[in-house]
Amino acid sequence: MLRISLISALLAILSAPLAAQAGLPGVQVPRIGNVLGEVTDLANQSLDRAGQTARELARERLRTIDRLVRRNRDTIALDTHGEPARKGELLVLEADSDQIASAREAGFSVMETIEVAELGMSVTRLRVPAGVDTADAERRLGELLPSATISADNLHFQAGSAGGVPLAVAAAGSKSHGAAVGMIDGAPGSSVHVTETRGFAQGAPYPSNHGSAVASLLATQHAGTIRVADVYGTDKAGGNALAITRGLAWLVGAGSKVVTISLVGPKNPVLERAIAAVRRRGVVVVAAVGNDGPAAPPAYPASYDGVVAVTAVDGKHRALIEAGRALHLDYAAPGADIRGLNAKGKRMALRGTSFATPLVAARLANAIGGGRNWRDALDGEAEDLGDKGIDLIYGRGLVCGSCKGR
């Protein structure tokens, strides 16, 4: 009995999502010989390959950050945690006059103080002293103002890619008028109908392929109000925490009840405070876990408390091997073998957790608009994949499983 149990357990490992993610062929169990030994070897090989892939994705994330900083030395620098941020600027939350005076004496200058009334926040932008590295300035200011909440203006990156050969249009799924949805991303192109777009970065609003794809997917499942906050524009340091915070404030003030964010970045105290304020107003935030693989650091804003974290599956309902992770996981949705529109209105193949996120947000908004408890509605729809019940690969299950985009 022990031998049979061990074999069953190892076969279960081979059929688990991790092995499926690695793209491994099906395993034929030998009819003779050392069955247990061969199955054990195959299981170890599967896990080794998946582990190597995860480590390579994590290394590629670091290489990408390094390339980004080297190519944009005038606008982007690393913070004290090695994360990219707007160069030469720091943010201080709720700074009082004494703190501002101390900062000025130390060579920092005030660029502006932003009262984010909708979120009950005040953010002061400081210019770091000339010739001082951004990370060094962050450390120095932290020592000078130990009671203050100080942050670099960290950048966030879009969690998917729109590309490939234009594909035939797929039938849109059923949709209904739901609660107003806000979207934080790049601006959609003119072929994607949204209620309103507003810019929160230099050159914004400026149509982007990613923003167009996310908005087009959102529109396939949601016929209600959609507002878009463009936090990228043409700014090389776009997608920063302050831009996202200002975008959130506008969306909430305009009446959005659900906000979808297909961006990922590091933990940032300014954005964390903004997300908490949004949630206190009863707004639900839905965010992607990113595409840096399971060995990467937890993705934010998906990892903030109360945010609905979304991962992605392909057309065969297999978890994407590049899917990142958050400190919690709520749902999975299609993020590959689906189609959306790029900035020029062409239908394109999509892949990434970015594109699963608006599908979940649309379902959630439709539930709220129909007067239902959104959690009960999504749990009732979710298809249980992987381990029975809530798990680390698919969360509470697959939502919008038949959705194919446009």
What is the rounded CA–CA span in Å between residue 364 and residue 211? 20
Name every residue whose Cβ is closer than 8 Å to that of residue 222 and which is 6 or more positions away in sequence: 175, 176, 178, 181, 361, 362, 365, 366
Helix, strand, or coil (residue 335): coil
Helix/strand/coil percentages in the chain, nearest 5? 35, 25, 40
> CA-based Rg of the chain, rounded to a whole angstrom?
23
Catalytic positions are 185, 210, 354
Give the number of C-alpha atoms closer than 13 A to the C-alpha of residue 234, restricted to the C-beta side.
2
Phi, psi of 40, deg, nearest 5: -60, -45
Kindly state the tokens that stand for 102: 């101390």
Helix, strand, or coil (residue 183): strand
For residue 85, the Cα-to-chain-centroid distance in whole angstroms is 17
